[in-house]
């Protein structure tokens, strides 16, 4: 038993020494701790280049997110009958699937949020829009792609897309509370479909703006 206790003490002292701690007062520098622990293999951090994290501020990842958002909205429109359901009793069916596509249902933090962000381009797409805008405003290269980019039109489209997708998500949520057997349910679904269609048009125009200017990944 004594040998085990001594072994544990020795291990503790070695661990403290590796991390640069003071055995007497256990004072440590947090940055030194993280750097040493990481380099020693004690912590494993995911490579940010392997996955777009929620609210990523990487320009290339943001542009890719915008492109993927077009595909997702097109797929939602194509599979509309799977999401805009009115059951036999005249009630709206579950709209969770559509709301996930629109980014309305997603965890806010942790590995689940990262996974949701990879699968849901419309989740926090507003951050992608801001990232592109910031890149254009802060670019000092007089011959770069940002010099020919129509920022004013881009910002108009960004505002419209955010409205369209958020309103569509809100409709998919609100329709669940509409009285069964009423015309209101069908009217909500019709309005929501028109929002999705316009969102596709606006996103496609945004991608074309980026492509015409020669943005990264779209040259």
Residues 155-178 have pLDDT tens digits of: 999 999 999 999 999 999 999 999
Which tops the pLDDT comparison, 167 or 111?
Answer: 167
The whole-angstrom distance between residue 193's C-alpha and the CA centroid of its chain comes to 23
Of residues 214 and 50, more confidence is placed in: 214
- Residue (of 218, 216, 210, 100) closest to 157 by Cα position: 210
Q: How many CB atoms lie within 10 A of CB 186?
A: 14
pLDDT tops 90 at residue 218: no
Lowest-pLDDT choice from 9-23, 66-80, 152-166: 9-23
Q: What is the mean pLDDT of residues 74-97?
A: 95
- Name the least confident of 141-145, 173-177, 195-199: 141-145
How many other C-beta atoms can be found within 10 angstroms of the C-beta atom of residue 129? 21
Residue 139 has pLDDT above 60, yes or no: yes
């Amino acid at each position: 038993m004594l040998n085990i206790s001594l072994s544990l003490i020795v291990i503790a002292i070695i661990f403290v020494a590796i991390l640069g701690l003071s055995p007497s007062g256990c004072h440590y520098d947090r940055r030194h701790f993280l750097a040493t622990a990481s380099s020693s293999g004690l912590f494993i951090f995911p490579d940010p280049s392997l996955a777009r994290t929620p609210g990523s501020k990487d320009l290339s990842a943001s542009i890719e997110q915008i492109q993927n958002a077009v595909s997702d909205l097109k797929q939602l429109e194509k599979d509309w009958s799977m999401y805009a359901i009115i059951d036999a009793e005249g009630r709206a069916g579950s709209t969770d699937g559509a709301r996930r596509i629109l980014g309305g249902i997603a965890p806010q933090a942790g590995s689940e949020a990262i996974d949701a962000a990879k699968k849901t381009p419309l989740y926090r797409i507003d951050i992608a829009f801001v990232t592109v805008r910031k890149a254009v405003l802060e670019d000092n290269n007089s011959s770069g792609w940002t010099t020919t980019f129509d920022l004013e039109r881009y910002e108009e489209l960004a505002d419209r897309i955010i409205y369209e997708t958020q309103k569509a998500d809100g409709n998919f949520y609100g329709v669940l509370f509409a009285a069964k057997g009423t015309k209101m349910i069908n009217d909500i679904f019709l309005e929501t479909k028109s929002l999705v269609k316009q969102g596709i048009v606006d996103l496609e125009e945004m991608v074309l703006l980026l492509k015409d200017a020669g943005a990264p990944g779209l040259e």
